[in-house]
Structures are given as C-alpha cells and as structure tokens.
A and B are shown apart, each in its own frame.
Chain A
Amino acid sequence: MTDIVAVKGRSLWIDAWNRLKANRAAIISAIYLCFIVLLTIIGPNFTGHDFTTQYPSYIRVPPSLEPYPKADKLDQEIKEIITRAHLTLKEWKQEGGRFLVSVTSTKPIDDRVTRYLDRSDSFKDGKVENKSADGLEMTMSASVQHLYFFFGTDISGRDLLTRTLMAGRVSLLVGLLAGLVAVTIGVLYGSVSGFMGGKIDELMMRIVDILYALPFTFFVIMLVVFFGRNFMLMFLAIGAVLWLDMARIVRGQTLSLKRQEYVQAAEAMGVNSWGILMRHIIPNMLGPIIIYVTLLVPQVIILESFLSYLGLGVQEPTSSWGVQISQGSRNMEGASYLLIIPAFFLTSTLFALNFIGDGLRDALDPKDR
C-alpha cells in the first residue's frame, strides 16, 4: 500500500500572487509606486525647505545640483544690497569662508545695516568688523548661505522639489480617498441591487442608467463651481460620479454569486440578508473590486488634476500635481522645467498605477485575458 501524501492546496490568492510575480512590468511599477509614496510622505522633511517659504532672491531659478548663490551672481547681489541700504560700496573681497564688504557713506553708518545682508537670501550672520572713528566708513562681514534647489524654484521663489512632493501627497491622497468613496458607494449599491433583485433591482439600475446619460465632467464642474471650492465637496463630487461602473460590475457578480449553494445554505439557516451580503457576497467579489480600485485611482487623480488645472481644485498654498502643471504651462516660456517636472511625476505615477491594475487583472482573473 502506498502512502497517501496530502497535496498542499494552493489558494486563489497564492495562485494570483505567483502570476503577479511573473509580470515584470507590474512588479517594477509596484516598487516605483511605493518609492513615490514614501518620497511624498517623508521627502518634504529632508529637502531643507518649507513648501511655503519664498526666496525673493531666487525667483524662477533653474534646477541645479550646485548650491545657490552662484559665484558669478554675488557681485551683483552685493551691489544691490548696498544700494538698498543707501550706502556706497568701496570694495568687497572673499577671505576664507567670509565676505568682507567695505562701504562708505556721507552720514554716520548705523551698526544695524548688517541686517540688509542678513535679509538677503544669499548671506547670513552679518557682523560689523571695524568702523572708522567718524562712522563714515565701515567694513562688514558675512558668510554665504548655501541653498540647494535641485528642481529649481517656482514663480514665487519656492523650492520646486518640496512643492512637487507636497503636491504629490495631495494628489495621491485625493486619488485614494475619492477612489475609496466611489468604491464603497458602488459596492454597496451594486450588491444591494443585485441581491434584492426584482422591482428594486430594476429601479436601482434604471437610476444608474440615467446617471450614465448625464454629461459627467460638466456635472462635476457645476457642483464645484456652484457650491464653492471645498475640498470635501470635491471628494463627494468625484466619488459620486465615478461609482457607476463599480455598481454595474458588482451587481453582475452578485447575481451569479447569490445562486451559489453556500448562500442558499446560509439562507436556510436563517441568516438575514445583510449578514449574507457582508459575510458571503462581498468577500467573494474582492478580486474584481481590487482590480477596479487600482484602475479607479488614476482616473480620480486625473479628474482632480483636471479640476485643479481649471482652477477649481485645491487652493494655494496647498498644491497638487494638476495645479503645478497648470502653473507650469502658464510659465513654460523660459522655464519649461516648471511644466516638465510635475508632468513627469504625474504621468509616471499614472503609468505605474495602470500597469499594476493590468497586472492584477491578469493575476486575479486569468480567464479574462
């Protein structure tokens, strides 16, 4: 007699995971997406700039790996500062890490003029080195304040790297939250409709059909314009518009699931409708739901960016990739990086999400290829 070896079964999820692992585009996209999410969450703390800080000396400076101020700009900068202080520049020279600036004036010079140096974005800790007895001549010293703008700065002189990451935070958050709103409404609506059947199903699906016929972009715009530019309202508007597909998919699934024996068994044992829906129907639809969520999130991000592009989305100083692209396209003459950088972040994230969605569809629903 041969021993009977129990074959270890493979669950649907392990099967799906194995199929997903074989999909290189999906895996790379998933890694990239995790990277972007991490970057937007912790990145802004490490850029050395706050996303609202404006540097008046550095408006629209191009991206650079070198620190600002550039050496060749210092002469002009010092001259401007001295002019602003109503003084006459005698000479300036560099000694070690510090800059020595000699100035003269027709009136006695106040010691507080060093503040003019401090106030500029290029210098810090200005000090009086020596002063002539009559107070008409003075030598000040200050050290250069090195600032890094890897992505350059925007039209208000704010660090673009920090702003892009903060904007990404908003875009991804909106995408996720509004996506979840849409899915929750869609799943509940679709499963109730499919499970109840009969007249209720008929009525609920008729409503969906009518909503489908509405020009939906127009509706979102109308909602946002007429009810004020409220962040929460935007969620609701987007969520309320995008749940229709989910409702249809879920209803179809529910119709076939509710004929299964285990549902009939639960019914026979007296479980109420809500219990059957929550315990048996919805958990068995997780596959299509997950696929749909990953495909819905990029749609929401696009819709939010679209509204922001029209100036109807998030408001300053908060930003999203859509807002940045809109500002960038208005200033692309001479500063094309303002458009290209946020556009790159947005599109690469959209690509990644789409690849993950396609990969999940292939993995979870192999028949549907």
Chain B
Amino acid sequence: MLRYVFRRLLTAIPTLFLIITISFFLMHVAPGGPFNMERGIPPEIKANIERVFHLDEPVWMQYLRYLGNLAHGDLGPSYILINFSVAELFAQSLPVSIRIGSWAMLLSLVVGSAMGVLAALRHNKFIDFFIVTLATGGSTLPTFVTAPLIQLIFGLSLKWIWIGGWHDGELSAAIGPIVTLALPQLATVARLMRGSMIEALNAHHIRTARAMGLSDFSVVVKHAMRGALLPIVSYAGPAAAGLVTGSIIVETIFQIPGVGRAFIDGALNRDYTLVMGTVILIAIFTILFNFLSDLLYALVDPRVRYD
C-alpha cells in the first residue's frame, strides 16, 4: 500500500512538469504580452517594467527562472494586479471556490445517490421514469443555460435568491451558484447510482439477505448500497477536482470572486503568472483527487488491492 502511494506520487511529478512546460511555452509564443495593452507608456518605461519582470529575456531563460522559483514554492507576482502575488490572489479566491464546490459536491452526492436508489427500488415504475427524465435533462442542459434561467426564475421573478454578486458568501447569494454547479453532477450521480443499484439488487447475496429475513432498510443500505457505491467513488474524484477549483461559467455569471474568475481575468489580461498558477493549481487538484478516489475505492471494496 505504502509503495503504491509512493509510486503514484512519483508519477505525478512528470505529468505536472509536462503540463507546466506546455502551458508556459504556449502562452509565451503567442503574440502580445501583459504590458502591451497599456496605451501611452513610453517605450523606455515599458522596457524598464519588462526588465523588472524579466520579460526581456529569451523565453527559455524565463522558463528556467519560473521553474526555479516554483521549486521554492514561489508562484511569482501578478503582472496586472499591482502589489499582489499570485499566492495572495489564491489565498483570497481559493477558499471561495472550495466553499461553493464542496457544498455542490455534497449536494450532488447525497441527493443524487438518494434519487438513484429510489429509482432503482421502483425500477420501471413511474418514479423511475421521472427520475431518469430529470437526470437526462440535468446532464444535457449546459451550465450557461441553467445559470441564467435560475437567476431569472428564482432571482428576478420570485426574489428568493440574491443575484447581485457574492455578498461575502451569504446563503441567499451562495445558493444559486451551488445549485447550478451541483445540477449536472447530481444528474450523473443519479444515473450511475441507479444503474449499479439495479445490478446490486439482483445479486445473489441480496437474495440471501432477504431470505434470512433482514429488514428492507438493512438489505438496501448495508448490503446493496455498499457495492453500488463503487462507480460513484471513481466518478467523484475527478468531478470533485473540477468543482472545487471552480467552474468558470458559474463564477462569471454569479460574479463570484473564485479561481475560475481569476483565470478568465488573468487570461484576458495576459497575466502570465496568474494563468500559469491556475493551471498548476487545477492540475494538482485533479491529480490529488484522482489519487484519493483510488484510495477510497480500496476502502469501500476490500477486493481491490494495491501493491
């Protein structure tokens, strides 16, 4: 087990390295730079600014310098937001994204699994059909359609939720983005859970459990659900990484100061260090959550062994 953990962490390093390299060069071969848009800067001053940030050096030297700083845990200063380092920006935006993301994840796991189990227990009945239809809708509707519709219906018409901005994460302001983020995940979880639950309920050990006179609750929750959870566990890892590191669309529409917004602002302003920082952050989260979900897999299913 320990060897497996070690090996997984070791293979993450070249992956991360490649992602950094590709993003870095992609960004730097593109025309334009962070200080090109400023009108009216005399060339001498621009040259001075670029010298301070080492942007006048050849790209490969900048690359090596960036890697060197990164090895010391330094993500560099933001080029656009004066007096802020990228790490400081993340210290502000990451907690916001994590908060929304983890609530959305919790919501989709709990409600999605419940819906899936319900549909499986009433297989081919009306409620099953209803849930499957809902799930199809949830996974087909893109976020940029559901988000404004939720704003329109629950914000403008019914005035249940606040849609004018983040408001320091008040519940009425946070509920819209959380639900919007959760919907597609919820639909997928429900579909996965329904499928694996139908299979699990037909398994031999469930028939045995029923024959031995166990209560319905005990059969469903203790015996069937445990096996049925496996696909959810392997799905949840990558999904959680995506949610926690922020959905660009949701953060843009609901004006949430999270990581996704930071990335878009950074990309539009060519804030090289901020964009690089976000890409690295996303990559780390993805690798980490995939790893965690694989470990969890072994906990839920004792047949899975890593050595």
- Give me the interface of A with B, judged by CB distance under 8 Å: 210, 213-215, 217-219, 221-223, 225-227, 298, 302, 305-306, 309-310, 322, 325-326, 328-329, 332-333, 336, 339-340, 343, 346-347, 350-351, 354
Contact across chains for B263 and A218 when beta carbons are under 8 A apart = yes
Closest 4 CB pairs of A and B: A226-B30, A329-B148, A215-B282, A309-B144
A–B Cβ pairs within 8 angstroms, 29 of them: A213-B283, A214-B283, A215-B282, A215-B283, A218-B278, A219-B23, A221-B248, A221-B263, A221-B264, A222-B26, A223-B26, A226-B31, A226-B267, A302-B142, A305-B142, A306-B144, A309-B144, A322-B144, A329-B147, A329-B148, A332-B151, A332-B156, A339-B152, A340-B149, A340-B152, A343-B145, A343-B149, A350-B141, A354-B136
A117 to chain B: closest CB distance in Å? 38
Question: Within 8 Å CB of A309, what residues of B?
Answer: 144, 249
A326 x B144 contact (CB < 8 A): yes
Residues of A contacting B: mostly: helix
In the assembled complex, which residues on chain B have CB atoms less than 8 Å from the CB atom of A346? Answer: 142, 145
B70 to chain A, nearest CB (A): 17
Q: How far is the CB of A324 from chain B (nearest CB, A)?
A: 11
Report chain A residues within 8 Å CB of B253. 329
User: Does B47 sit within 8 A of A, measured CB to CB?
Assistant: no
Binding stretch for chain A, among B14-22, B74-82, B90-98, B297-305: B14-22
B127 interfacial by beta-carbon distance below 8 Å: no
Q: Is the CB of B248 within 8 A of A217?
A: yes
Q: Quick one: which of A218, A223, A227, A306 contacts B282, CB cutoff 8 A?
A: A218
Q: Is the beta-carbon distance between A332 and B148 smaller than 8 angstroms?
A: yes
Chain A residues with Cβ below 8 Å from B287 are 213
Q: How far is the CB of B90 from chain A (nearest CB, A)?
A: 15
Residue in A302, A309, A339 with the greatest tally of chain B CB atoms within 10 Å: A309
How far is A329 from B22 in the complex, measured between Cα atoms in Å? 35
Interface centre among A215, A322, A329, A343 (most CB of B within 10 A): A215
- Contact, CB under 8 Å: B27 / A222: yes
Q: Is the CB of A218 within 8 A of B279?
A: yes
Given A210-B18, A215-B282, A332-B156: A306 and B267 interface contact (C-beta under 8 Å): no
Q: Report Cα–Cα, A219/B144, bound state, in Å.
A: 19
A302 to B195 CA separation, bound complex (whole angstroms): 26
Q: Which of A213, A226, A336 contacts B27 (CB 8 A)?
A: A226
Once the chains bind, are B142 and A350 in contact (CB under 8 Å)?
yes
Would you call B19 and A213 a contact (CB within 8 A)? yes
Chain B positions within 8 Å of A350 at CB level: 140-142
Complex interface: chain A residues within 8 A of B267 (CB): 221-222, 225-226
A310 contacts B145, CB within 8 Å? no
Cα–Cα distance between A218 and B27 once the two chains are bound (Å): 12
Q: What is the CA–CA distance of A247 and B124 in the complex, to the nearest angstrom? A: 36
Contact flags B1-42 to A (C-beta < 8 A → 1, else 0): 000000000000001001100110011001110000000000
B236 contacts A by Cβ under 8 Å: no
B286 close to chain A: CB less than 8 A: yes
Mask of B126-151 contacts with A, CB within 8 angstroms, 1/0? 00000000001100111011011101
Q: Which of A225, A302, A354 has most chain B Cβ within 10 Å?
A: A225
Residues of chain B with a CB closer than 8 A to A336's CB: 152, 156
Q: How far is the CA of A350 from the CA of B140 in the complex (A)?
A: 7
State whether the Cβ of B275 lies closer than 8 Å to any Cβ in chain A: yes
Complex CA gap A247/B249 in Å reads 28
Tell me the smallest distance from the CB of B124 to a CB of chain A, in Å. 15
- Judged by a CB distance under 8 angstroms, whether B270 is at the interface is yes
Task: State which residues 251-285 of B face A: CB under 8 Å.
Answer: 252-253, 263-264, 267-268, 270, 275, 278-279, 282-283
A354 to B275, CA, bound (A): 34
B-side interface residues toward A, CB under 8 Å?
A: 15, 18-19, 22-23, 26-27, 30-32, 136-137, 140-142, 144-145, 147-149, 151-152, 156, 248-249, 252-253, 263-264, 267-268, 270, 275, 278-279, 282-283, 286-287
CA distance A219 to B283 in the complex (A): 12
| Alpha-carbon separation in the docked complex, A333 to B151 (Å) | 10
- Whether B27 pairs with A310 at a CB distance below 8 angstroms is no
- The answer to whether B26 touches A226 (Cβ under 8 A) is yes
Residues of B within 8 A of A214 (CB): 19, 22, 283
B-side contacts of A302, CB under 8 Å: 142
Distance between Cα atoms of A210 and B136 in the complex (Å): 31
Contacts of B275 in A (CB 8 A): 222
* Inter-chain contacts of B148 with A (CB < 8 A): 325, 328-329, 332, 339, 343
Residues of B within 8 A of A215 (CB): 19, 279, 282-283, 286
> In the bound complex, how far is the Cα of B152 from the Cα of A328, in angstroms?
11
CB proximity of A56 to chain B, nearest CB, Å: 27
Inter-subunit contact A213/B145 (CB<8 Å): no
Chain A residue numbers with a CB within 8 Å of B19 are 213-215
* Inter-subunit contact A310/B22 (CB<8 Å): no
The smallest beta-carbon distance between B148 and chain A, in angstroms, is 3
B144 partner, pick from A225, A325, A333, A351, beta carbons under 8 A: A325
A322 vs B144: C-alpha distance when bound (angstroms): 8
Residue of A nearest to B263 (CB): A218
Q: How far is the CA of A339 from the CA of B249 in the complex (A)?
A: 16
* Chain B residues positioned under 8 Å from A219 (CB to CB): 23, 26
State the CA gap A349–B188 with chains docked (Å).
Answer: 20
Tell me if A306 and B26 are in contact (CB < 8 A): no
Assess the B140–A347 pair: CB atoms within 8 A.
Answer: yes
Q: Which residues of chain A are within 8 angstroms of B141 by Cβ–Cβ distance? A: 347, 350
Q: Which residue of A lies closest to B18 (CB)?
A: A210
| A325 contacts B145, C-beta separation under 8 Å | yes
Name B253's closest neighbour in chain A (CB-CB): A329
| B274 CB → nearest A CB, Å | 12
B19: nearest residue on chain A (CB-CB)? Answer: A214
B142 touches A306 (CB 8 A): yes
A354–B144 contact, CB under 8 A?
Answer: no
Which of A214, A218, A328, A340 is packed against the most chain B CB atoms within 10 Å?
A218
**Additional A-B contacts beyond A214-B283, A222-B23, A305-B144 (20; CB < 8 A):** A213-B15, A213-B19, A215-B19, A218-B278, A221-B267, A222-B26, A222-B27, A223-B26, A225-B267, A227-B31, A298-B140, A310-B248, A310-B264, A325-B144, A328-B148, A329-B148, A329-B151, A332-B148, A340-B149, A350-B141
